[in-house]
Amino acid sequence: MDAASLARAADAAAAHERRCLLCEHRCGADRAAGQLGPCRAGTEARVFRHRVEHGEEPELVPSHLFYLSGCDLRCAFCIAEERAFDPRIGTPLDAPFLRRALEWGRARGARNLQWVGGEPTIHLPAILRAMAGAGELPPIVWKTDLHATPEALRLLAGVVDVQVADFKFGNDACAARIAGVPRYVEIVTRNLLLVSASTRLIVRHLLLPGHFECCFLGIVRWLADHLPGARVSIRDGYLPKWQARHHADLRSPLPADAGSLARREAALLGLDVVE
């Protein structure tokens, strides 16, 4: 998307700074007036880290990841810990900062710009403004918890080349207890179908200890039934970080063979599994 189109998208997204409906909390906060919703974000996005990484899916690396502070979920096991939940942490994101950072990333072989978090969707107006003024952009990867509204997803249409969407929980009870959100499966499955119709999609799932039956199997079975052509990335790097110690099921690391067993199960269902 060219700079003029990005600027128009940024102008449209700015309406959410007056009445925010970017995520499914649908809080309606007037961020421009200083009101804070559940994510605590204002009108400014902040980057707490950016670096070129090689640990993403093979088709994405090397990828230049921009980590934004602030999130609409409250996952107890979040590896980013307090940086994911406090949108005041980091360097303010604007066009000059992004331009300089992208030049740095290109010099190190980055193939794309990947927005991660926290959760980038809650900062969509600021991200679009920065990209509109940053000059030539590489392909855009949007790493998301997909707890977004259709209104937000429409703003991303034509902007994003690849969506990397976390499908964290296979049932609403686990999502409510561990991440603090209701109606999780309904929202994420709706959004997976929406973005798959127009954007290249990678569905990512982080295996959690003790959640093979209740979460993993439900997720891969839904994908096999509804998105059998989706690229599925099963991650087995779980660490009991942040507030995981308060949950008996999350205190321990994964068994050593959890990843291979899960990938085998997904492949048996006919899914396109990242190896």
Question: How far apart, in whole angstroms, are the C-alpha atoms of residue 42 and residue 15?
Answer: 13
Q: What is the pLDDT of residue 242?
A: 80
Question: How far apart, in whole angstroms, are the C-alpha atoms of residue 180 and residue 16?
Answer: 23
Residue 83 has pLDDT above 80, yes or no: no
Helix (H, G, I), strand (E, B) or coil at 236: coil
pLDDT tens figures, 122-145: 999 999 999 999 999 999 999 999
Cα dihedral sign, 155-223-165-172: positive
Residue 202 phi, psi (nearest 5)? -120, 125
Instruction: Sketch the domain layout of the chain as residue ranges.
Output: 3-273
- Report the alpha-carbon angle 252-256-260, nearest 5: 125
Cα dihedral sign, 210-215-218-224: negative
Q: What is the pLDDT of residue 53?
A: 97
Nearest-CA neighbor of 166 among 228, 215, 109, 100? 215
Q: What is the pLDDT of residue 119?
A: 97
Segment 40-47 shows an average pLDDT of 97
Share of the chain above pLDDT 90, in %: 90
Segment 10-33 shows an average pLDDT of 98
How many CB atoms within 10 Å of residue 145? 26
1 against 170, higher pLDDT? 170
Helix (H, G, I), strand (E, B) or coil at 43: coil
Q: What is the pLDDT of residue 64?
A: 98
Q: What is the pLDDT of residue 243?
A: 86
Residue 54 has pLDDT above 80, yes or no: yes
* CATH code, residues 3-273: 3.20.20.70
Segment 161-178 shows an average pLDDT of 97
Cα dihedral sign, 85-86-90-93: positive
Q: What is the pLDDT of residue 224?
A: 98
Question: How far apart, in whole angstroms, are the C-alpha atoms of residue 89 and residue 126?
Answer: 15
Residue 171 has pLDDT above 90, yes or no: yes
Q: What is the pLDDT of residue 80?
A: 81
pLDDT bucket at 1, cuts 50 / 70 / 90: confident
Nearest-CA neighbor of 148 among 85, 201, 84, 191? 191
Q: What is the pLDDT of residue 84?
A: 81
Residue 117 has pLDDT above 80, yes or no: yes
User: Beta-strand (E) ranges in 93-223?
Assistant: 112-116, 140-144, 162-166, 200-206
Q: What is the pLDDT of residue 246?
A: 87
Amino acid at 24: E
Instruction: Say what the pTM is.
Output: 0.95
